[in-house]
């Protein structure tokens, strides 16, 4: 038969890594070169069909700045999934992503499905974070890893689809 599943998903990562752009690409199929930075957090929802299940993602797109850090637990507590986003052209954003992973491992739901997104994969000529380094890190920490581009749409639907497949079924 057909099943419906609701999944609360949170996006975390450095400001500018492309969290809002990934959501905008997934939800509306759009990309903005001058995406406005998020204040506090923004909410979106989108459904995805995976085999015999319709997954309704309830997505919290957080701001990422340090000054909003104390708000983050409100969004990741109770989340069934998280996408931790960094920018492949910024080593700082990768360092920041690893800090988010640590925080989720300590404070988040232990069964949370976690994805690491190396975004801006279209900026190959500006790459600072080797894909192999991120892949190894993700494997060691129980996340799955994909490089994405909100700009070209590469791997954007795929990352949400992979999360949907991994969600615990009731
Ligand atoms: P956020 O702070 O993590 O939400 O990041 P934004 O989504 O606001 O994106 C920050 C900037 O990076 C914006 O100017 C976006 O247009 C740009 N951006 C986001 N994703 C990509 C991408 O995949 N490729 C490129 N080249 N630029 C991107
Ligand atoms: Mg944003």
| 86-95 pLDDT tens trace | 999 999 999 9
In this predicted structure, the answer to whether residue 4 has a pLDDT above a threshold of 90 is: yes
Ligand nearest to the CA of 86: 1
Pocket of ligand 1 (CB under 6 A): 13, 15-21, 32-35, 37-38, 64, 119-120, 122-123, 149-151
Asked whether the beta carbons of 117 and 157 are under 8 A apart, the reply is no
Orientation angle between helical segments 156-166 and 19-28, nearest 10 degrees: 90
Q: Which pair of structure tokens corresponds to residue 46?
A: 């989108």
Task: Give the residue-averaged pLDDT of 94-106.
Answer: 97
Whether ipTM exceeds 0.85: yes
Determine which helix (DSSP H) or strand (DSSP E) holds 5, and give its type and residue range: strand 3-13
Q: Whose CA is nearest to atom 19 of ligand 1?
A: 18
Rounded to whole angstroms, how far apart are CA atoms 78 and 68?
19
The pLDDT tens digits of the residues spanning 18-73 come to 999 999 999 999 999 999 998 889 999 999 999 899 999 999 999 977 778 888 99
**DSSP notation for 39-55:** SSEEEEEEEEEETTEEE
Residue 11 CA: nearest ligand 1 atom is 3
**Is 87 in a helix, a strand, or coil?**
strand
The pLDDT tens digits of the residues spanning 112-146 come to 999 999 999 999 999 999 999 999 999 999 999 99
Rounded to whole angstroms, how far apart are CA atoms 119 and 25?
12
Probe ligand 1: pick from 126, 150, 157, max atoms within 8 Å of CB? 150
Ligand nearest to the CA of 150: 1
> What is the CB-side half-sphere exposure of residue 161 using CA atoms within 13 A?
9
Strands 3-13 and 81-87, sheet pairing: parallel
Probe ligand 1: pick from 12, 16, 125, max atoms within 8 Å of CB? 16
């Amino acid at each position: 038969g057909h099943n419906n599943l609701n999944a609360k998903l949170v996006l975390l990562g450095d400001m500018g890594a492309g969290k809002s752009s990934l959501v905008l690409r997934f939800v509306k199929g759009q990309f903005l070169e001058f995406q406005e930075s998020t204040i506090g957090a923004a909410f979106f929802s989108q459904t995805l069909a995976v085999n015999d299940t319709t997954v309704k993602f309830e997505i919290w797109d957080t701001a990422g700045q340090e000054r909003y850090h104390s708000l983050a637990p409100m969004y990741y507590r109770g989340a069934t999934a998280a996408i931790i986003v960094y920018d492949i052209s910024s080593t700082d954003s990768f360092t920041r992503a690893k800090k988010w992973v640590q925080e989720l491992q300590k404070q988040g739901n232990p069964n949370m499905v976690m994805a690491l997104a190396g975004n801006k994969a279209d900026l190959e000529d500006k790459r600072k974070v080797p894909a192999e380094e991120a892949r190894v890190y993700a494997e060691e920490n129980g996340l799955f890893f994909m490089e994405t581009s909100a700009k070209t749409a590469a791997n954007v639907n795929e990352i949400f689809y992979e999360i949907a497949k991994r969600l615990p079924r009731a």
